[in-house]
Amino acid sequence: MKAMLAGQDAQTHLYCCGPGPMLNAFEAACEAHGYPNVHIERFAADPSTESVQEGEYVVQLSRTGSLVKVPSGKSLLDALLEAGLDVEHSCREGVCGSCETAVLEGCPDHRDSVLSNSERASNKTMMVCVSGCKGSRLVLDL
Ligand code: FES
């Protein structure tokens, strides 16, 4: 895999879909080459990621200024739905991308299998079904 991917332009977007071990090898090879624009599609959640985090945090909704508390052990998506928001979602496993939400402030704890490493590092969006917060507060474009 690493040899096959050698020599790509650093700005090339690389895509891969298939079984988990192959996706892991693809990601490792791309990381070894330093390629920032890597996109994979999983059909099941990566078993190495926990989808619910420990520790409470608060989310501010930028369109209304409302605050939503996310208790320890609850997903951000469930907290938003219980607060009455109509957040688009489907898989609830961080693999489909339908719940992608823009992040305006704060540092998400990315646990999805959708975003590339460079997209995660930018912290501009997050999958609210599985991802959480590394601090105590997020501001989302909701
Ligand atoms: S609902 Fe599928 S990634 Fe969040």
pLDDT tens-digit readout, 2-35:
999 999 999 999 999 988 889 989 999 999 999 9
pLDDT band at 99 (very low <50, low <70, confident <90, very high): very high
Residue 7 C-alpha to ligand 1 middle, in angstroms? 33
Say yes or no: CB of residue 89 within 6 Å of ligand 1.
yes
CA gap 69, 13 in Å, rounded: 37
What distance, in Å, lies between the first and last C-alpha atoms of the chain? Answer: 40
Say yes or no: CB of residue 72 within 6 Å of ligand 1.
no
Relative to the CA of 92, which ligand 1 atom is closest?
1
CATH 3.10.20.30 fits 57-140, yes or no: yes
Boundaries of every domain in the chain:
2-41, 57-140
pTM as predicted: 0.78
Residues 100-125, mean pLDDT to the nearest whole number: 93
Say yes or no: CB of residue 78 within 6 Å of ligand 1.
no
- In which order are the strands placed within the sheet that holds 100-105? 67-70, 57-61, 137-140, 100-105, 125-127
CA gap 28, 47 in Å, rounded: 17
